Each structure stands twice: as C-alpha cells, then as structure tokens.
Amino acid sequence: MRLSLNTATVRKQWNLAQMIDGCVRHGIEGISPWRDQIASIGLKKAKQLIREAGLTVTGVCRGGFFTAKDWKSDNLRAIEEAHELAAPALILVVGGMPQDSKDLAGTRQKIRDSISEILPEARKAGVPLAIEPLHPMQVARAAVNTLEQALDMCDALGEGTGVAVDVYHVWWDPKLESQIARAGARVLGYHICDWLPATRDLFNDRGMMGDGVIDLPKIRAYVEAAGYAGFQEVEIFSELDWWNRDPDEVLRTCVERHNRCC
Amino acid sequence: MRLSLNTATVRKQWNLAQMIDGCVRHGIEGISPWRDQIASIGLKKAKQLIREAGLTVTGVCRGGFFTAKDWKSDNLRAIEEAHELAAPALILVVGGMPQDSKDLAGTRQKIRDSISEILPEARKAGVPLAIEPLHPMQVARAAVNTLEQALDMCDALGEGTGVAVDVYHVWWDPKLESQIARAGARVLGYHICDWLPATRDLFNDRGMMGDGVIDLPKIRAYVEAAGYAGFQEVEIFSELDWWNRDPDEVLRTCVERHNRCC
C-alpha cells in the first residue's frame, strides 16, 4: 500500500505548497489536505500544484461538525472542494454535543439527519462521505465513536456513505476485525499513526508508526481483506513532539516507518 | 438509590479510618474500600470499624491486573478480603498489555483465562467477580473496554461473574442502554462521577457529578431497569482538583450532588 501525507502531520511547520513539495522530495505519492490549508493558497492553486506534482488526493479533511451554526453551507462548500480535487472521499469529523448539552443520543440523531441532508449534493458531485469514528475520549469533537456505530449510520443513509478507518481511533475496539469486514468496499480511507502508552493529551499526542503499541500490520491486513486498495495515510497530531521537528525529518521518518512498521 | 463512597475519592487526604468517620459524619451509608487502604490499617481493624459505623460495603477495589507477575496469589488474597468484608463483589481492573507487547487480542485471552482460573475460589467464597470495562483511553490499565466485551466474557465464564458499570468508562457507548439491559442481574456495582469536556489527563481528571456532560439520571434509569437495587458509588480520581480539597468539602459536595444530579 502506498503512502499518503495527511497534511495535519506537518501543519505547524509548512503551508500547503511546501507540503506538496515535501511529498515530491520524499517520494510520497498521495496527499490529503485540510481545508484551511487549501483556503490559504486558494482552491485553484492547490489543485494546480497537486496535479503538477503528480500526487493522488486521498481525501479532503474535513466536513462535519454538524452541531455548529453554519454547518450546512460549510459542508456544501467542502463537497465542492473535494469534487474539484477529485478526492475519493470527504472525511467527516461529525462534531460533538453543543455547549451545555448532555444529550448524546440527540446529538447523534442530529448528525445522522445532517448527513442525510447533504448527501444528495454529495452524490450529485460524486463525492463519497466518509464518516470517521473518533476515539471515545474525543467525544467533544465527534459523537460517532465506533466503526459499528458509523456503519449503522451508513446502512441507514445508503449509497454514497462509508467510513474512514483511523487506527488511532479504533485500534482498541474488540469488534475491529468484524466491523472492518462488515464495512467492505465502504472503507474510504485508512489512516495510520500509533498509540503511545503514556499519552499526555487527549487530542494532540499521537505517536509515529512504530513508537507505540498498535499492531499496524494486523489492522492493515483487516482493511486489505475488506478489499481496500487505497493508500495508507499518515496523520499525526503531535503538539509535544512531531509538530516541533524539522518537517523534512518528519516526512523522512514517515517513509521509513511506513516501509518498516506498517 | 443510596450513596456509597469509593475511597479513591479522598485517597490523598485520609486513611481508611478517617474515611469511615467521614461517611458517618456526612450520612453516607456505603463504602467501597481500596485494598492498599485496608492493608494500611489491617483487614481485621477495617472490618471492625466498618461494622461499628454501620456502613454497607458495596465493593472491594480491586482484583485484576492479570498480566502482572504475582496476579494469582494477589487475586486469591483479594477474594479472601472481599469475603471477610462481605462485599457484594470484588471489582476487577483487568490490566493491560505487558510492556513491549502489541498483542491486544492475546492480552484479552489471558485476562479471560485468568479469571476462569480464580473463579472456583471466588465461587467457594461467595464473592462475585465484577469485570469493570474501562474507558478505551485507559487500555494500559484494562484491556476490557466495553460492556459488550465484558458481558461476552461473563457469558463464557458463567456463574459468579458480572460487571461494574462506571459511568465514566461507558457513558459514550452507543450500545450502553442495550448492554445494561443485557447485563440484568449481573450489574454488580454502579459507579458515578462526571466527564469534563476539557479533560486534562487520561486517568486522574474525573469530574464531580453535575460538573460534566454525562446524563446521570438517564444511566441510573438504565441500571434500575436492569434490576439493580444497590448503591450509587461515587468514585472520583482527581489529581488537579478534588484530591487537593478539604475532604469534608468533598463528601459534602458528593452528598449534595448525589441528591440533585444523579
């Protein structure tokens, strides 16, 4: 499986143009850009640079946050951008409970209804929507927290929906293997990094592949058995470590670990 | 439902004798002591003080850690102590992957096998074993992470096993209601606290009931519907807040919040 760079991995050091150059320099063939980075150089320019660099877009991050005020217009724009970049999916980080709410079930219903509302536009644009279950500790960012829950939503929503499998969020799940098998062709993205046993932060302390306790080859085998033939997308949020390093060192390490540990 | 004090809540301020006095002073009728606290005043003395205070023991914390070296002798002692204190259950914090291991499935198998090995002694002693699923972010402390997984183990292990439902660990679970219903009479303990939206630490930053986003009355209704008629046991690990406060203020707040928020 080829390697793709989720641009969150070097978000503190580089802009999108530099990230694209970095991918080329390190032989990384795919890229999954974040929308704020696209916006900062402009969609047209982003598209042009990615094409000139010969990179495959493996996703656009992110739509979602369905409990935010302007969720609908924002998601319609995200679909448009993903379409322009020929992304195989728009990744949805679905959002959590609104301030002062304790209504988790209601939030989940709102998420499902909202996806249903934008789905016709996504289908028209040919942009599959990838629901990404986030780790239960990140329920503030996303109230979809297991693959089973995400796939139940996909079952209800129908064509044009699928899941993004990020090892960081799902590696602990006792039903991981069975739910990836259930997902089948609905696996729209596969994100890698590692879980550090001494995690210091709930959001931004992901480890580099090989530095933690996730059995990456095993999960890779699960997604391959499900028929996934896309890229492995490295996505590392790391306030205390990788975001402070020379980005060329980061990419060099990603490539090396991708070859050795994944 | 009556209130019980899980002694972890004031572990930094008081010894067990002081905790027992504190319960009496604040009208808390149950107690769930930790074994290190029992050991520090002696089992006989602990038993005597709890009886004299008229408290109900709602659990003993903890057996488990089945991947540690001396797990078997330690768990047999824990069963004996729970028996002596007439606890309705020995709470099992099952332990995580050994150092340098990435074998999560193997760890889970080892946990099941170990419980199976001590179960005859627990049955003989009349001490039910309560498997406590821990939050997936605490996989280092426990590789049983959902109620469904814990109940699958109980199904396999049979009589004398059940689960401890701690809201902190399970509140996010999309299958919470259905799995509590499935547990039925196997709910051996019900632990309360709250989830803080801005959680600062993976282990020791629990909130006081009412300070977070958990819908406590809803989960209480689930366990009541399952037939649970025991205590609500407050268990707050809080390095940055409640462990630094006057323990009488802590217990006063527990009682007030128990009446108002649970």
pLDDT in tens, A9-38: 999 999 999 999 999 999 999 999 999 999
B67, B99, B139, B214: best to mutate for the A interface, most A CBs within 10 A: B139
Do A32 and A233 meet the contact criterion of CB atoms below 8 Å apart?
Answer: yes
pLDDT band at B65 (very low <50, low <70, confident <90, very high): very high
Alpha-carbon span B8 to B114, nearest angstrom? 25
B174 to A202: CB separation less than 8 angstroms, yes or no: no
Residue A146 has its nearest CB partner, among B108, B174, B202, at B174
Buried b (16+ CB within 10 A) or exposed e, A61-73: bbbbbbbeeebee
B221 touches chain A (CB under 8 A): no
> Which chain B positions have a beta carbon within 8 Å of A141's beta carbon?
none
Predicted confidence (pLDDT) at residue A140 exceeds the cutoff of 90? no
Predicted confidence (pLDDT) at residue B236 exceeds the cutoff of 90? yes
Alpha-carbon span B105 to B149, nearest angstrom? 12
pLDDT band at A235 (very low <50, low <70, confident <90, very high): very high
**3-class DSSP string for B118-179:** HHHHHHHHCCCEEECCCCHHHCCCECCCCHHHHHHHHHHHCCCEEEEEEHHHHCCCCCHHHH
- Count of other CB atoms within 10 angstroms of residue A99: 8
Residue B145 has its nearest CB partner, among A108, A172, A215, at A172
B103, B104, B144: best to mutate for the A interface, most A CBs within 10 A: B104
Secondary structure percentages of chain B, helix, strand, coil, to 5: 50, 15, 35
Nearest to A78 by CA among A55, A56, A60: A60
Predicted confidence (pLDDT) at residue A205 exceeds the cutoff of 90? yes
Give the list of residues 6+ apart from residue B26 with CB closer than 8 angstroms, or none. Answer: B248, B251, B252, B254, B255
Mean pLDDT lowest for which of A97-101, A249-253, A254-258, B46-50?
A97-101
Q: How far away is chain B from the Cα of A201, in angstroms, using its nearest Cα?
A: 7
Alpha-carbon span A83 to A111, nearest angstrom? 22
Residues 119-138 of B with CB under 8 A from A: 135-137
Residue A172 has its nearest CB partner, among B136, B171, B172, at B136
pLDDT digits (tens, 9 = 90+) for A158-190: 999 999 999 999 999 999 999 999 999 999 999
* DSSP string covering B215-261: -HHHHHHHHHHTT--S-EEE---BTTTGGGS-HHHHHHHHHHHHHHH
> Which chain A positions have a beta carbon within 8 Å of B148's beta carbon?
174-175
B202 touches chain A (CB under 8 A): yes
Question: What ipTM was assigned to the predicted interfaces of this complex?
Answer: 0.96
pLDDT (mean) for B221-242: 98
Alpha-carbon span B192 to B171, nearest angstrom? 10
Do A80 and A125 meet the contact criterion of CB atoms below 8 Å apart?
Answer: yes
B174 to A145: CB separation less than 8 angstroms, yes or no: yes
What is the pLDDT, as a whole number, of residue A76? 98
Do B251 and B5 meet the contact criterion of CB atoms below 8 Å apart?
Answer: yes
What is the pLDDT, as a whole number, of residue B11? 98
Distance of CA A244 to CAs A85, A203, A209, A247, B25, Å?
29, 16, 17, 8, 52
A101 to B213: CB separation less than 8 angstroms, yes or no: yes
- Two tokens at B176? 């919470």
pLDDT digits (tens, 9 = 90+) for A70-84: 999 999 999 999 999
List own/partner pairs for B215-222 with CB under 8 A and 24 or more apart. B215/A102, B215/A103, B215/A104, B215/B171, B216/B167, B216/B192, B216/B261, B216/B262, B217/B261, B217/B262, B219/B165, B219/B167, B219/B171, B219/B176, B219/B180, B220/B1, B220/B190, B220/B262, B222/B176, B222/B177, B222/B180, B222/B181
B136 to A202: CB separation less than 8 angstroms, yes or no: no
DSSP-derived 3-state class of residue A34: strand
What is the pLDDT, as a whole number, of residue B140? 83
B205 touches chain A (CB under 8 A): no
pLDDT digits (tens, 9 = 90+) for B136-169: 999 989 999 999 999 999 999 999 999 999 999 9
Residue A149 has its nearest CB partner, among B101, B152, B174, at B174
- Two tokens at B228? 């649970």
Nearest to A250 by CA among A59, A11, A52, A40: A11
B214 to A171: CB separation less than 8 angstroms, yes or no: no
What is the pLDDT, as a whole number, of residue B125? 98
A112 touches chain B (CB under 8 A): no
DSSP-derived 3-state class of residue A91: strand
Q: How far away is chain B from the Cα of A34, in angstroms, using its nearest Cα?
A: 24
A102 touches chain B (CB under 8 A): yes
- Count of other CB atoms within 10 angstroms of residue A212: 21
Angle between helices B216-225 and B176-183 (to 10 degrees): 30
Alpha-carbon span A132 to A93, nearest angstrom? 6
Closest residue, chain B, to A197 (C-alpha): B140
Distance of CA A116 to CAs A72, A81, A87, A119, B253, Å?
11, 19, 20, 5, 44
Predicted confidence (pLDDT) at residue B176 exceeds the cutoff of 90? yes
A139 to B102: CB separation less than 8 angstroms, yes or no: no
Alpha-carbon span B21 to B247, nearest angstrom? 11
B101 touches chain A (CB under 8 A): yes
Alpha-carbon span A10 to A236, nearest angstrom? 8
End-to-end CA distance of chain A: 9
Alpha-carbon span B155 to B161, nearest angstrom? 9
pTM of structure: 0.97
Backbone angles phi, psi at B32, to 5 degrees: -130, 95
CB pairs under 8 A between A and B: 63
pLDDT (mean) for B57-81: 97
Residues 49-78 of A with CB under 8 A from B: none
pLDDT (mean) for A101-108: 97
Alpha-carbon span A144 to A150, nearest angstrom? 6
pLDDT digits (tens, 9 = 90+) for B244-261: 999 999 999 999 999 999
**Percentage of chain B lying above the pLDDT 70 cut:** 100
How confident is the prediction for chain A on average, in pLDDT? 97
**What one-character DSSP code corresponds to residue B95?**
B
